[in-house]
Structure 1
């Protein structure tokens, strides 16, 4: 579920990003110039409306430029459920986290067919899963009940639950450890301010690191740093970014920063910002490199999700528009110029890439 995004997303990006430091060493509007790499197409997860049970999965086929606005329903004869929150491909399977329904849908990405659906509940009470990440044939799913589920990707069974902090959100893996943002996001105004560190060998929480208030976004770079994006309390406590050295688990920097998510590709982190901009942060130099990645004046109303195609360098930005009707997905080339856009379902939040 993205309840918090439904009422707080606009406020989240009203500030101005501040970075300091130094560092380590429907159908396209026009016929797009499609990638020559081995991509078959993209899936777009559209979370729908909270408690409306209308999550959808759009599929855009690069080969014939066809668009199916709800691939999952057309293939399986049923919907995904209520409030799809995260989606990733690992190995030969695609994993879709459905928050309000408290399910994990495991899908064949080439056909859209469901392989298995797991209920993430305790005593028939939903755990409210949020995000999923993977390492060494294990999946890790954060749940708003204060746990991280450990999934065996071969057996497709949950092996155990690890207790962390309140209302965990995004996670990142670095140096054999899983970093989990404990947002406390359902306890307004008593938000959390820690990141749990889980040893992936023992599957035990080893410590909690203090960060900014209401941490939600967590991402790791190739140099061993973990970035934690905290949204504050939307009043007197401002949003911030904390950088953790994963080798020592010590906080390196903590600066004011307006944003709730960052996607890193190579040395560059892409951050949605106010005014529909997409800031570019260089994780190697730890400097803000561009105020806006978009160079052709393309207007994005409500940036909601980001993805970067590592094969082509294309940057995909999802636009939730007014959060109640159909959204749009924009594809930009490496120079920040729009290539095409497609119209999809309500509140698109994730894009994944399908190989041939």
Structure 2
């Protein structure tokens, strides 16, 4: 009897041990890369990059908890690093559990952990140019530069490796099937899409598209490009699908902002009367799987937002929630958070001037 009791007791202990081990493994899976953090942060995080005002050294990153269980932290970069982020925050991405930020005015790229503690920094020379936009692939960070080049950095150390000439004033870029696709605005004068083979990274092919392109994204293996369509003031704001096989493109509408979620591209076309500072917005979506355009607005905008200047459209890749940033270019902006069905969930202060980009950590 005692032997039987011992057997069942040992079995129970083994089962409890397995349970504790599983819980411990779960904790390890959810543990964030927070070394050096001055504050305790939840697992779910949204970071808002506030561009700031040019040459005012007032760019910053705001922390927001989407579960609403902890307060917003304005300028968390300063809190964590005891230093200002710098001048003109241009782009921010997440890659391999780290955050990368391109600072256009301050001419550097920084690598942060998931708590916004700085890990490394690369300062570009005046000959290399100022950083614009970022993408990462296979341990490399690619940066468009105002000098007309794309730079390749080691994503771990931020050591500079090489740069390739593309077009004038390259803007956004993306990787697709081992190639980089880079749009060149040329300050309104360029009309080329540059294509770089990442295996060689030595020369860019050039394909003529429309004038003054700015943004590029991928949905269902299709490439979407948005831009101005001309130099100032002759803007037409085309949004096109680029066909990689034929190297041609087809316009699907007008747009000033676009973002992708679950192979659907969401577009906002904003027209602003700069004499009054008021805007009107047209919203539509395009399903990249079916090729169908839906002209029904995907957001139920509150009245106060309908006439404000929109500066940011970001979508949470985990749940499809929309984050819309507004700006008057001088005072702190606001963020409007919408559910995936387009209903307004919350409005909160962005914590800085001109909110430009959101990165989601889960």
What TM bracket, shorter-length normalisation?
0.7 to 0.9
Tell whether 2:165 aligns with 1:163. Answer: yes
How many angstroms apart in 2 are the aligned matches of 1:209 and 1:162? 16
How many angstroms apart in 2 are the aligned matches of 1:135 and 1:288? 31
How many angstroms apart in 2 are the aligned matches of 1:303 and 1:220? 22
Alignment partner of 1:341 out of 335, 343, 347: 347
How many angstroms apart in 1 are the aligned matches of 2:178 and 2:343? 37
How many angstroms apart in 1 are the aligned matches of 2:100 and 2:204? 27
Alpha-carbon deviations, 1:18-54, whole Å to 9, x = none?
Answer: xxxxxxxxxxxxxxxxxxxx95120000010011010
CA contact (8 A) 1:298 1:338 kept: no
Aligned-pair CA distance for 1:162: 1.0
Q: TM-score, normalised by structure 1?
A: 0.81
Bigger Rg, which one: 2
Alignment partner of 1:180 out of 153, 164, 182: 182
How many angstroms apart in 2 are the aligned matches of 1:93 and 1:297? 35
Tell whether 2:83 aligns with 1:74. Answer: no
| Equivalent position SS for 1:262 | strand
| Equivalent position SS for 2:147 | coil
Corresponding position of 1:13: none
Corresponding position of 1:195: 193
Tell whether 2:197 aligns with 1:218. Answer: no
Alignment partner of 1:228 out of 196, 206, 225: 225
Alpha carbons of structure 1 residues 154 and 287: separation in structure 2 relative to 1, 3 Å: same
CA contact (8 A) 1:72 1:113 kept: yes
Corresponding position of 1:262: 258
Aligned-pair CA distance for 1:254: 3.8
In the alignment, structure 2 segments of 5+ residues that lack a partner are: 1-41, 271-279
Aligned-pair CA distance for 1:217: 0.8
Alpha carbons of structure 1 residues 237 and 87: separation in structure 2 relative to 1, 3 Å: closer
Alpha carbons of structure 1 residues 79 and 277: separation in structure 2 relative to 1, 3 Å: farther
Tell whether 2:116 aligns with 1:119. Answer: no
Alpha-carbon deviations, 1:71-108, whole Å to 9, x = none?
Answer: 00111111111000000110121001000111101111
Aligned-pair CA distance for 1:243: 2.1
Corresponding position of 2:13: none
How many angstroms apart in 2 are the aligned matches of 1:113 and 1:71? 9
How many angstroms apart in 1 are the aligned matches of 2:235 and 2:102? 30
How many angstroms apart in 2 are the aligned matches of 1:294 and 1:337? 6
| Equivalent position SS for 2:77 | helix
- 5 Å-filtered alignment, 1:295-334, equals 295=300, 297=302, 299-300=304-305, 301-320=308-327, 322-334=328-340
Alpha-carbon deviations, 1:100-158, whole Å to 9, x = none?
Answer: 1111011112x221111210114xx5611110011111111001110111011123212
How many angstroms apart in 2 are the aligned matches of 1:179 and 1:89? 19
RMSD across aligned C-alpha pairs, in angstroms?
1.9
CA contact (8 A) 1:47 1:84 kept: yes
Alignment partner of 2:53 out of 38, 49, 72: 49
Runs of 4+ in 1 over 6 A off after TM superposition: none
Aligned-pair CA distance for 1:55: 0.3
How many aligned positions are there? Answer: 307
Aligned-pair CA distance for 1:296: 5.3
* Structure with higher helix content: 2
Alpha-carbon deviations, 1:226-263, whole Å to 9, x = none?
Answer: 112120224446232332223x25114246x4323421
Taking CA–CA contacts closer than 8 Å with sequence separation of 6 or more, which of the two structures ends up with the larger relative contact order?
1
Aligned-pair CA distance for 1:331: 1.0
Aligned-pair CA distance for 1:216: 0.5
